């Protein structure tokens, strides 16, 4: 996939920082798959895969992660813009900014830089909370569609965003 991350009208895109992927691989990798299945596209920049010990490209597909290969321009900009962010952090910020995706990170400097650049962010733990909330809401709707209608479920999904 190219450096641009297409944002579907129905599926939100999330750019995952390596620290979030590492945390979920160490604890409960199913959160990544559930997030990809229920929340939107979970994207990791190709250069970040090397940061995650034990993660290979074919593992990404099994987890539901989409690999994004940054453009030459994005790579060059990330290399130029060091400062308080690492090269990999700049790639996350640039991919999220240019695609309108949400950056998922626990890294404070990256969070601050995203805020300064108008990039929406969530903590890694919020990803898990959103997955659980959406999954449970869908189960409640399935069990009680008369009172928890499709319209109510749709409004709840929008609020989760």
Q: With DSSP H G I counted as helix, E B as strand and the rest as coil, what are the percentages for the chain, rounded to 5?
A: 55, 10, 30
| b/e sequence 104-119, b meaning 16+ C-beta within 10 Å | bbebeebbebbeeeeb
pLDDT band, very low/low/confident/very high, at 83 (cuts 50, 70, 90) = confident
Q: How far apart are CA 147 and CA 129, in angstroms?
A: 24
8-state DSSP, 3: S
pLDDT band, very low/low/confident/very high, at 3 (cuts 50, 70, 90) = low
Positive or negative: CA dihedral 159, 125, 120, 95: negative
- Find the mean pLDDT for residues 89-100: 96
Do residues 55 and 21 make contact, with C-beta atoms less than 8 angstroms apart?
A: yes
Token pair of 141 as six digits: 């709707």
Q: For 39-81, what is each residue's pLDDT tens digit?
A: 999 999 999 998 898 899 999 999 999 999 999 999 999 999 8
pLDDT of amino acid 47: 94
Domain spanning 12-123 has what CATH number? 3.40.50.1010
Domain ranges of the chain: 12-123
Bridge-partner residues for 103, per DSSP? 15, 121
């Amino acid at each position: 996939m190219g450096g641009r991350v297409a944002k579907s009208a129905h599926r939100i895109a999330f750019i995952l920082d390596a620290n979030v992927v590492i945390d979920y691989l160490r604890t409960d990798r199913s959160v990544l798959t559930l997030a990809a299945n229920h929340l939107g596209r979970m994207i990791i920049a190709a250069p970040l895969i090397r940061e995650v010990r034990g993660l290979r490209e074919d593992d990404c597909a099994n987890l539901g992660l989409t690999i994004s290969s940054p453009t030459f321009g994005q790579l060059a900009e990330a290399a130029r813009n060091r400062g308080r962010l690492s090269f990999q952090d700049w790639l996350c910020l640039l991919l999220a900014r240019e695609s309108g995706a949400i950056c998922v990170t626990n890294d404070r400097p990256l969070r601050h830089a995203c805020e300064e650049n108008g990039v929406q962010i969530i903590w890694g733990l919020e990803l898990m909370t959103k997955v659980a909330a959406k999954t449970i809401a869908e189960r409640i709707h399935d069990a009680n569609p008369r009172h928890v209608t499709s319209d109510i479920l749709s409004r709840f999904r929008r609020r989760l965003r």
